[in-house]
Structure 1
Amino acid sequence: MSVGEQEAAAVPWSVREAYAYLGAVTERPTAQLWDLVDSVGPVAARDLIRAGRAGEALNAQAESRREHVDGAALLDSAAAVGARLVVPGDPGWPGYALAPLDRPRGRRRDGTGGVPTALCPLGLWWRGSTDPETTLGRAVAVVGTRAPTPYGRTVAADLSAGAAAEGFTVVSGGAFGIDAAAHRAVLGVHGMTIAVLAGGVDRLYPRGNDGLLREVAETGAVISAQPPGTGVTRYRFLDRNRIIAALTGATVVVEAAARSGALSTAAWAAALDRPVGAVPGPVTSVASVGCHLLLRDRGAVLIGRTADVVELAGEMGETAPPPAGEATPWDGMDDVTRRILEALPTSGGVAPAEVARSAGIASTTVRAVLGRLMSTGAAVRGPEGWRRSEDGGMQLSLPVS
């Protein structure tokens, strides 16, 4: 079964279409939007927003787009370029990596007094045949200036190729300069690389990297939180940076000026408790000022060789989902998955939000884990909601923690 068929089996088309609508109807995935989705589900949330009955704050956020967004058309546009929408509930949804983006909502620092804070995306537009869960299990971001020196370009290529040879997926932004050097180096060693765009995956940007990005999509993936047809803006680049930081186990900055966008990615990584590395350069080089600031003031780790990258990014293994086993659902199960499975009833059904409250785990993580549990047969989603399957492992003795 292909990746697309697996996802289709996990998430009904109506739900995927609803997520496509919800991801496009507001500029950013806000706390109000996620609260509504958690409360009534994506399909009902879409219907309420479209009808203008989603509450004052959310109605205002969606006012300019609610009658014009067509989720089905967005899915068709993606399919036309070989892309698909990966959503919560899909086996490949990287909820374990994106969950920290939901923290402001849990702490009620959701920006309701001003510009809404961007939270976990409602889906990722994925252009490529690769499996998100597999490719993002061990991933490192390599980012930097669009105007690198020959030194920076060489170091970015060497570190990226080395990391790929060690089995890491190298994630970058597809831009000129360091990003392009990282992608090309990985392609050169037949490794895995992912480009995260600030616009739609059907509008490869920058145009000068069109050929490079097409090659990345053929062997890895070109992805975006923005729906097809979306153009790039400065704030969308900043939002793109947080996705890069969230999807990777560590961020390595190779040459960055004092106000480089790469420092935004590093700041997001630090805020998400992901390690940050920086490559030092000549003290006379403007292109290395940002890296030196990271090393001096912001706790970055000095990166000088591939082994440093492997050591830094290897920490992602602690947060990656456990490998699926052939035996019982309880074998090798981590604490988060066990708590979510234990929160499911054996009859009837409950919503993901109720599971999140019962287990004390972020809703984004719950949705991702439920999709995995369903793919292994440990959980079932029925008309009344989620429940544990009859052979979901509860008849077995619980592992001793």
Structure 2
Amino acid sequence: MEGERLARAALTRVVEPGDERAGAWLRRVGAVELLRALRTGYGAAERLPGMTAVRLEGYRLRAAAADPARDLAAVAALGGRLVCPGDREWPSQLDDLGDARPVALWVRGRPDLRLWALRSVAVVGARACTPYGAHMAATLGAGLAERGWVVVSGAAFGVDGAAHRGVLAVGGATAAVLACGVDVPYPRGHAELIGRVAQQGLVVAELPPGDHPTRARFVLRNRVIAALTRGTVVVEAEYRSGSLVTARQAQRLGRFVMGVPGPATSGLSAGVHELLRGEGVLVTEASEVAELIGEIGDLAPARRGPVLPRDRLDPIAAKVLDALPYHGLTSPRDLARGAGTSADETLGRLYELHSLGFVEREGDGWRLTRPSPRDGAVRRGGS
């Protein structure tokens, strides 16, 4: 097993994340034999379908420079480790990626990755987000953490960073999946944030220590976020957005996909709205996310407008109140005609409405209670 671990550590430096051809080779011959073939070239063309001389040369250059023992020592010095398929800590949901499954994962932080992934949700979105987007991401992150969910994101500027900070602010659980080595603070402006995530949660990467991100690696990192979690929430995203790549990957994997709506005029919400027109589910707060991806009983509270005093009236009293004109006095007989009730019934309801403060009596006439300047509307109940 130690040889397998060393081989997988080396392959994370040789094989690019998401390389399905290399994943198929790995499944076919195993990590030790694949590394040997890539280093020596012996039998590579025969045993590795699709291997060409040009491709083999590229792999051999990387394999010759790989030093897995050094990488394992480097991550151990950070308090980290390498988690491989077959390990107790390996999240089995990553196997849903098939041959695009990570060769292994480099992990910083004390919590168990597999256990955390079982109850995790991704919150992703625009880097150049609006204050609204940052607020929603932080609020969702904090609310999910308080409900016992692990919030996973990519530690980028904008929505990602806001989601992580929201979790950290309430002492919750959060994990950052990077497109570089776990020892590389990227973006540099988030060095402190990534350090806090490593202390309080987990920092995860496919790439070995010291490796730097590229545009393609950001896109491929998103498949890990999608597969690792039970659902993905997108907060602000343009039509062309890495966050939508995560959401679409989550859809393909059968995960829940959610979106937070924004102004119809905002280009930063256009991608989210397009997602919501398809299979995405609209959410506005953490309880709605938990209801969708959680267990039986994780229900969001029922929402309704405020209960007005008018709502508590019985139907006949409400009809009498509706029959009163906005201005001036009226008699009980005229009110009875307008409300469609008897004069005695109307008079009884008028006294009831008077005790509740809806109407006033003046001589033999009745009228609506005059609103005070602070009321801003008649007491009839408004719309």
Give yes or no for TM over 0.5.
yes
Residue from 293, 300, 303 that aligns with 1:313: 293
Partner of 1:302: 282
Q: Secondary structure at the match of 1:282?
A: coil
Matches within 5 A, 1:62-73: 62-73=59-70
Q: Distance in 2 between matches of 1:89 and 1:167?
A: 27
The share of aligned pairs that are identical, in percent, is 47
Structure 2 residue 89 is the aligned partner of structure 1 residue 92: yes
The question of whether the paired residues in 2 share the 8 Å contact of 1:249 and 1:315 is answered with no
Q: Secondary structure at the match of 1:67?
A: helix
State the shift of 1:127 in Å: 0.9
State the Cα deviation string for residues 263-284 of structure 1 (Å, max 9, x = none): 1111111111111100001112
Q: Secondary structure at the match of 2:63?
A: coil
Q: Secondary structure at the match of 1:17?
A: helix
State the Cα deviation string for residues 312-369 of structure 1 (Å, max 9, x = none): 33279xxxxxxxxxxxxxxxxxxxxxxxxxxxxxxxxxxxxxxxxxxxxxxxxxxxxx
Partner of 2:241: 260
State the Cα deviation string for residues 227-265 of structure 1 (Å, max 9, x = none): 111111110000111110010000000111221211111
Q: Distance in 1 between matches of 2:207 and 2:51?
A: 19
5+ residue gaps, structure 2, are 297-383
Partner of 1:203: 184
State the shift of 1:39 in Å: 3.9
State the shift of 1:148 in Å: 1.4
Corresponding letter in the other structure for 1:98: L
State the Cα deviation string for residues 52-111 of structure 1 (Å, max 9, x = none): 12523346252331211111122122223222110012100012x111110xx5xxxxxx
State the shift of 1:18 in Å: 0.9
State the Cα deviation string for residues 125-148 of structure 1 (Å, max 9, x = none): 101111111111100000001111
Q: Secondary structure at the match of 2:230?
A: coil
Distance 1:79 1:260, change over 3 A: same
5+ residue gaps, structure 1, are 1-11, 106-118, 317-401
Q: Secondary structure at the match of 1:136?
A: helix
Structure 2 residue 8 is the aligned partner of structure 1 residue 19: yes
Q: Distance in 2 between matches of 1:229 and 1:250?
A: 30
The structure whose RCO (Cα within 8 Å, separation 6+) is larger is 1
Partner of 2:365: none
Q: Secondary structure at the match of 1:63?
A: helix
Q: Secondary structure at the match of 1:251?
A: strand
The question of whether the paired residues in 1 share the 8 Å contact of 2:39 and 2:60 is answered with no
Q: Distance in 1 between matches of 2:23 and 2:68?
A: 17
Q: Distance in 2 between matches of 1:243 and 1:269?
A: 10
Larger radius of gyration: 2
Distance 1:27 1:134, change over 3 A: same
Matches within 5 A, 1:352-391: none
The question of whether the paired residues in 2 share the 8 Å contact of 1:277 and 1:312 is answered with no
Partner of 1:135: 116
Q: Secondary structure at the match of 2:195?
A: helix
Matches within 5 A, 1:16-165: 16-53=5-42, 55-56=44-45, 57-58=50-51, 60=55, 62-95=59-92, 97-102=93-98, 119-165=100-146
The question of whether the paired residues in 1 share the 8 Å contact of 2:11 and 2:63 is answered with no
Partner of 1:365: none
Q: Secondary structure at the match of 2:61?
A: coil
Q: Distance in 2 between matches of 1:272 and 1:123?
A: 19
Partner of 1:248: 229
The question of whether the paired residues in 2 share the 8 Å contact of 1:93 and 1:133 is answered with yes
Matches within 5 A, 1:213-362: 213-296=194-277, 298-314=278-294
Provide the aligned length of Structure 1 versus Structure 2.
Answer: 288
State the Cα deviation string for residues 155-198 of structure 1 (Å, max 9, x = none): 11111111111111000000011101100110111110000001
Distance 1:193 1:64, change over 3 A: same
